[in-house]
Amino acid sequence: MDSKIIRALEEILGKQSVLSAREDLMMYEYDGSIEVARPDVVVFPRTTQDVVRIVQLANRHQVPITGRGAGTGLSGGALARQGGILTVFSRMNKILEIDIENQRAVVQPGVVNLDITRAVEHAGFYFAPDPSSQKSCTIGGNVAENAGGPHTLLYGITTNHVLGLEVVMPSGEVLRVGGKTLDTPGYDLTGLLVGSEGTLAIVTEVTVKLTRLPEATKTLLAIYETVDDATETVAEITARAITPAACEFMDGWTLRVVEAWVHAGFPLDSAAVLLIEVDGLREAIEAQAAEILDVCKLHRAREVRVAKDSKERELLWKGRKNAFGAVGRLSPSYYVQDGVIPRTKLPATLREIDVIGKKYGFEIGNIFHAGDGNLHPIILFDPRDRGQYERAVAAAGEIMAHCIAVGGSITGEHGVGFEKSELMPLMFTEADLDAMRGVRHAFNPAGLLNPGKIFPFGKGCGEVRVQPFPITPATPL
């Protein structure tokens, strides 16, 4: 990058808020995915006006600009695929307003997800979207990827809890869309921007809806001798029109790995477990839990445990939400997928994932949001081995192709990023993709905001390409 641009950024933000040394940039070439992309410079704005000046500079020099929160994303969405300026929002981390009476909060994009709940739980409220990384992921990233989590089965994903946004356009213009009301006249630009992965505008402020804490909660752990029995339970719960707050699945291999680290009380000799939670009015959840218990027994659950207190409930959820970390103890790396399928297709799809794992020589663990059919197969591999990397990507591609074939999607909450951009033609026609490109062009005509994301590079060729082995100066071979 031209040294004049770096000096201009230092004048805008101060030298302490600009990183350009190679050893510093290496820290920002990764996120939670298996992708690698190094920026040319990293900047840390503190205000919306800082972002405006950064964007105006990037626009004048036609330099790509990418936003980044905590770097916990799993699709490469916060990586600077084409270099340029990586704008990190960790210093824009203030909760600007809390309005308990109207159940609203206004926050900067660098606020950690769980910190919103911590700021309002004393008054009996919380922020409902709860990604597994909620202790570290930030609201800006949640908005970019339209993040989900275990409890979105009942409460919905990020877009259902974001009411308004302040954004900086590629020109440097500041816009406000939505607001504190549940609905605003005109086009739903807030809904359009949530999940747009930073390709339309840069978010600098978020207005969120707060949810009242439920009167009561009941958490059940159903234990199974076969995977099919567990997945058929999920389908039956859906067929009976029961909507628990959460319904999570872990196969036997995964739960044994988790138990060895977390000691949550998971049974080591089972083939699968379902972690099911209901909440709401005390009388209602007792009836709902009883009906779920009947369904579990109907599908041959060996045992159904009920958490006896909040401490036991928190331990079970600690096991679920720390599962990826537990798996990381066994392998140099792993590749987490994010496919979605109809819940009735769960048994057959898990069998297919097992076949694919054996075909490519990988152990694939399964832990996912069973209630909404959002799969997270975990492929263990060594990223330093070119052959293993290529086989892992190929295996993931086959899993995603199967998800689409049975009526599903390539992503439920992680986003497309550049991890899955080349898989988009499996779901969409070229006309579909051109319509989406038209929306991007209307907001981001020069394509400087987060380039190389969502859309395949092979436009018009009709083929799906596998991403290459990520060789960078920082990647040992």
pLDDT in tens, 358-371: 999 999 999 999 99
Q: Is residue 230 domain-shared with residue 310, that is, in the same domain?
A: yes
Give the span between the Cα atoms of 244 and 238, in whole angstroms. Answer: 10
Q: Is residue 296 domain-shared with residue 366, that is, in the same domain?
A: no
CB atoms within 10 A of CB 130: 21
Give the span between the Cα atoms of 407 and 373, in whole angstroms. Answer: 11
DSSP secondary structure string for all residues of 76-102: STTS-TT-SEEEE-TT---EEEEETTT
pLDDT at 328: 87
CB atoms within 10 A of CB 171: 13
Q: Is residue 110 domain-shared with residue 81, that is, in the same domain?
A: no
pLDDT at 457: 84
Q: Which domain holds residue 84?
A: 3-88
How far, in Å, are 146, 148, 347 from residue 235 at the CA level? 25, 21, 10
pLDDT at 474: 38
Q: What is the CATH number of the domain that holds 35?
A: 3.30.43.10
pLDDT at 156: 96
**Intervals of the chain under pLDDT 50:** 460-466, 471-477
Q: Is residue 335 domain-shared with residue 437, that is, in the same domain?
A: yes
Q: Is residue 125 domain-shared with residue 201, that is, in the same domain?
A: yes
pLDDT at 463: 45
Residue pair 396/364 in contact (Cβ under 8 Å)? The answer is no
Q: What is the CATH number of the domain that holds 364?
A: 3.30.70.2740
Q: Is residue 152 part of a domain?
A: yes
pLDDT tens per residue across span 233-249: 999 999 999 999 999 99
Q: Is residue 249 part of a domain?
A: yes
pTM of the shown model:
0.94
Q: Is residue 268 part of a domain?
A: yes
What's the token pair of residue 366? 């399964």
Q: Is residue 226 domain-shared with residue 208, that is, in the same domain?
A: no
Q: Is residue 134 domain-shared with residue 40, that is, in the same domain?
A: no
Q: Is residue 458 part of a domain?
A: no
Residue pair 31/79 in contact (Cβ under 8 Å)? The answer is yes
> Given 268, 301, 326, which residue is the final one in a domain?
326
Q: Could you report how far apart the first and last alpha carbons of the chain are, in Å?
A: 27
pLDDT at 473: 36
Q: Is residue 129 part of a domain?
A: yes
Per the structure, the count of domains in the chain is 4
Residues whose CB falls within 8 Å of the CB of residue 376, separated by 6 or more in sequence, listed in order:
336, 337, 338, 366, 367, 368, 369
Q: Is residue 430 domain-shared with residue 384, that is, in the same domain?
A: yes
